[in-house]
Amino acid sequence: MGLIRDIFFYPIKFLLAFILHYEHPKAEIPQGLEERIKLFLLHHFLNFGLGLAKVLDKAGLCYEHDVLRFLVDGIPPQKTNKLFIKNVMFNNLTVRIYQPKVPSAGLRRGIVYCHGGVGRFGSINAYERVCRYICRNSDSVVASVEYRLAPEHPFPAQFDDCLAATIHFMRTAEDYGVDPARVIVCGDSSGGTIAATVCQALVNRTDLPKLRGQILIYPFLQAADFNLPSYQQNEDAPVLLKSRTLDFGFKYLNLDLSLIDDLLRGAHIPESLRQKYSKWLSPDNLPKEFKTRGYKSPQLAPCKEEVYTLAQSFIGATFSPLLAEDAIIRQLPDSFILTCEYDVLRDDGLLYKKRLEDNGVRVTWCHLSDGFHGVLFAVDYGILSFKAGCRGIDRTVNFIKTL
């Protein structure tokens, strides 16, 4: 019996050990977090999932992104009797509509939700709980976009789909009980990138109502500087490690991973652009309290022309909306930006907040001092939810109610 058990379990143990060895980056659980043990477990679960995806990909059994898509979709929630939920087609795009069952005296707000996942994973199923929560608690109609994913559909297909879905929703808003003048675009992480670029793309449209607001939840907003204080301070903070951020981004854009070091040293930005961007990206634009915890001014490398040539695809405003011109920024709608202290992307949000405010845009800012990247994703997962995430999504809902 013992021999049979060993024959069965030893290969499993070996596989588990190999997977954890394959994807086990150094990480430091921040001392300032209230739920450190829960984050520790989440970090190692993610490591296992990423390691499994890479091992299966290397073995030729399936693609890495397919495994990640399956894992991120998570556990389906139970049915709800408080919302009408249905999938509809916006031309060739699947969009999931969430509507409160409680009758409304008039037309409601409408929210177009662009999910995160670095353009390679994530889905309307993965964000089912988030969208239900927002719909239920803000008394709004939510349209969650099932945009196409890379690598099958390279960048900027994700932006193109969300822009098309937003335009379609605005034109047909009343069909869903929505006031066309009260449409908000919302997104988290890379979905926040998309939401920001969609808003920018629509500012000069005269054939549509103006967007009522934008909601950017720990968004990625620029690919020009990966040495901001938050990138240094949270280099090893779960769940979005600095190395993982670049790895995900390069795979999304189908770039050579060997170029990551050049980007970390700033070799993709010529001096002329470096001077232009400095007025928007300088750490001097950050509040003093965010430049503690060991920040050091980086020594940047000279620009490499061949690297800059490749970089032009992702330092444009469609991938880096923080780098858009003031003429666009000043036309943006009321904005909500959520940042997390233990997130490499924290300063992207802070710098965009300042750019918006400098251009006369009203900004509501929520900073989770004990938050980390992705903390809202687990909302409504019971004991798996994080208190910081619950506070963050409630602040988001409160902002929606003001519009």
Q: For 143-161, write each residue's pLDDT tens digit.
A: 999 999 999 999 999 999 9
Lowest-pLDDT choice from 161-175, 289-303, 370-384: 289-303
**Per-residue confidence (pLDDT) for residue 219, from 0 to 100:** 99
Integer Cα distance of 52 and 59 in angstroms: 11
Helices of type H across 203-336: 229-233, 242-253, 260-264, 271-281, 305-311, 326-329
Residue 97 DSSP class: E
Integer Cα distance of 109 and 140 in angstroms: 5
pLDDT tens readout for residues 305-361: 999 998 988 999 999 999 999 999 999 999 999 999 999 999 999 999 999 999 999
The answer to whether the CB of 281 falls within 8 A of the CB of 222 is: yes
Query: What average pLDDT score do residues 87-109 get?
Result: 97
The answer to whether the CB of 151 falls within 8 A of the CB of 199 is: no
pLDDT at 28 over 90: no
Q: Which of the four pLDDT bands, split at 50, 70 and 90, describes residue 212? A: very high
In angstroms, what CA-CA distances link 103 with 139, 315, 402?
10, 45, 20
Q: Which of the four pLDDT bands, split at 50, 70 and 90, describes residue 34? A: confident
- pTM attached to this predicted model: 0.93
**Per-residue confidence (pLDDT) for residue 349, from 0 to 100:** 99
More confident residue, 326 or 18: 326
Architecture of the 83-222+315-401 domain: 3-Layer(aba) Sandwich (3.40)
pLDDT at 26 over 90: no
Angle between helical axes of 2-22 and 36-58 (0-180°, round to 10): 100
Query: What average pLDDT score do residues 255-284 get?
Result: 94
pLDDT at 141 over 50: yes
Percentage with pLDDT > 90 across the chain? 80
Return the H-helix or E-strand segment holding 371.
strand 363-372
The dihedral of CA 227, 343, 126, 71: what is its sign? positive
Q: How many helices (H) and strands (E) does the chain have?
A: 14, 8
Query: What average pLDDT score do residues 369-398 get?
Result: 94
**Any long-range contacts for 269-273 (C-beta under 8 Å, 24+ apart)?**
269/224, 269/225, 269/303, 269/308, 269/311, 269/315, 270/303, 270/308, 271/303, 273/224, 273/315
Integer Cα distance of 208 and 214 in angstroms: 16
Instruction: Tell which residue, 195, 263, 186, 197, has the closest CA to residue 231.
Output: 263
pLDDT at 370 over 60: yes
Integer Cα distance of 265 and 259 in angstroms: 10
**Per-residue confidence (pLDDT) for residue 23, from 0 to 100:** 52
Q: Is 190 exposed, middle or buried (0-12, 13-18, 19+ CB in 10 A)?
A: buried
Helices of type H across 172-289: 190-202, 229-233, 242-253, 260-264, 271-281
State the chain's mean pLDDT as an integer. Answer: 92
Q: Which residues are catalytically annotated? A: 189, 343, 373
**Per-residue confidence (pLDDT) for residue 359, from 0 to 100:** 98
**Per-residue confidence (pLDDT) for residue 13, from 0 to 100:** 41
**Per-residue confidence (pLDDT) for residue 371, from 0 to 100:** 95
pLDDT at 24 over 50: yes
**Per-residue confidence (pLDDT) for residue 25, from 0 to 100:** 63
Ranges of CATH 3.40.50.1820 domains, the chain = 83-222+315-401
Q: Is 257 exposed, middle or buried (0-12, 13-18, 19+ CB in 10 A)?
A: exposed
Most confident of 27-31, 45-49, 125-129: 125-129
